[in-house]
Chains A and B, each alone.
Chain A
Amino acid sequence: MQFEVYDAGVNIDKDLVAAMATPLVLAILVEGSSYGYAILKRVRELSGGELAWTDGMLYPLLHRLERLGSIRSQWGTSDSGRPRRYYEITPAGREQLAEQRRQWATANRTLGGLWNLAGAEA
Chain B
Amino acid sequence: MSAETESRIGEWRTAVLRGRAVTAQDADELEEHLREQIADLGAVGLSEREAFLIAVGRLGEVDAVTAEFAREHSDRLWKRLALPRPEEGGRASFITMLVFAIAAAVAIQVARLAAFSPGSAMQVFGDPTERWFVRDLGLFVLPVLAGYLAVVRRMPWRRIAWLAALVAALAIAVNVFPYAPGSATEMLVALHLPVVLWFVVGAAYAAGEVRSSARRMDFLRFTGEWAIYYTLIVLGGGVLTVLTVQVLAPIAPQAIDEVLTWVLPSGGAAGLVVAAWLVEAKKSIVENLAPVLTAIFTPLFAVMLVVAAVGYLVAGIGRAFDRELLTVFDVLMLVVLALVVYGISAREATRSARIMDAIRLAAVVCAIVLDILVLVSMFTRVGEYGWTPNRVAALGLNLVLLANLAGAAWFEAQQLATGAGPFRVERWQTGYLPVFAAWVLAVAVALPPLFGFA
- Residues on A lying within 8 angstroms of B by beta carbon are 1-2, 4, 6, 35-37, 40, 54-57, 59-60, 63-64, 67, 75, 78, 80, 82-85
B60 touches A4 (CB 8 A): yes
In whole angstroms, how far apart are the Cα atoms of A60 and B73 in the complex?
8
B60 touches A56 (CB 8 A): yes
In whole angstroms, how far apart are the Cα atoms of A64 and B36 in the complex?
23
Smallest Cβ distance from B265 to chain A, in angstroms?
49
Selected contact of B32 from candidates A4, A40, A63, A83, CB within 8 Å: A83
B69 adjacent to chain A (CB < 8 Å): yes
Most-contacted residue by chain B among A1, A40, A59 (CB, 10 A): A59
Smallest Cβ distance from A85 to chain B, in angstroms?
5
In whole angstroms, how far apart are the Cα atoms of A56 and B13 in the complex?
13
B53 adjacent to chain A (CB < 8 Å): no
Smallest Cβ distance from A45 to chain B, in angstroms?
13
A56 touches B65 (CB 8 A): yes
B68 touches A2 (CB 8 A): yes
Residue on A with the closest CB to B33?
Answer: A37
Q: Which residues of chain A are within 8 angstroms of B32 by Cβ–Cβ distance?
A: 35-37, 78, 82-85
Q: Which residues of chain B are within 8 angstroms of A56 by Cβ–Cβ distance?
A: 30, 59-60, 64-65, 68
Smallest Cβ distance from B88 to chain A, in angstroms?
24
Q: Which residues of chain A are within 8 angstroms of B347 by Cβ–Cβ distance?
A: none
User: Given that A54-B59, A54-B60, A54-B65 are known contacts, is A59 also in contact with B30, CB under 8 Å in the complex?
Assistant: yes
Selected contact of A83 from candidates B28, B57, B68, CB within 8 Å: B28
B72 touches A60 (CB 8 A): yes
Q: Which residues of chain A are within 8 angstroms of B35 by Cβ–Cβ distance?
A: 80, 82
Smallest Cβ distance from A70 to chain B, in angstroms?
14
Selected contact of A85 from candidates B29, B60, B64, CB within 8 Å: B29
Q: Mark B48-88, 1 if CB is under 8 A from A, else 0.
A: 00000000011110001100110111000000000000000
A37 touches B36 (CB 8 A): yes
- List 10 interface pairs A-B (beta carbons < 8 Å), by A numbering: A35-B32, A36-B32, A37-B37, A54-B59, A54-B60, A57-B64, A59-B26, A60-B71, A67-B72, A84-B29
Smallest Cβ distance from A102 to chain B, in angstroms?
27
B29 touches A55 (CB 8 A): no
Total contacting residues, chain B, CB less than 8 A? 21
Beta-carbon contacts under 8 Å, B1-42 to A: 25-26, 28-30, 32-33, 35-37
In whole angstroms, how far apart are the Cα atoms of A4 and B65 in the complex?
11
Residue on A with the closest CB to B37?
Answer: A37
Smallest Cβ distance from A40 to chain B, in angstroms?
8
Smallest Cβ distance from B61 to chain A, in angstroms?
8
In whole angstroms, how far apart are the Cα atoms of A37 and B39 in the complex?
12
Q: Which residues of chain B are within 8 angstroms of A80 by Cβ–Cβ distance?
A: 35
Q: Which residues of chain B are within 8 angstroms of A2 by Cβ–Cβ distance?
A: 64, 68
Beta-carbon contacts under 8 Å, B304-318 to A: none
Most-contacted residue by chain B among A36, A40, A60, A83 (CB, 10 A): A60
In whole angstroms, how far apart are the Cα atoms of A57 and B65 in the complex?
6
Q: Which residues of chain B are within 8 angstroms of A67 by Cβ–Cβ distance?
A: 72
Residue on A with the closest CB to B70?
Answer: A60
User: Given that A60-B69, A63-B72, A83-B32 are known contacts, is A55 also in contact with B64, CB under 8 Å in the complex?
Assistant: no
Given A56-B64, A57-B68, A60-B69, 16 new contacts (CB under 8 A): A4-B60, A6-B57, A36-B29, A37-B32, A37-B36, A40-B33, A54-B59, A54-B64, A55-B37, A55-B58, A57-B64, A59-B26, A78-B32, A82-B35, A83-B32, A84-B29
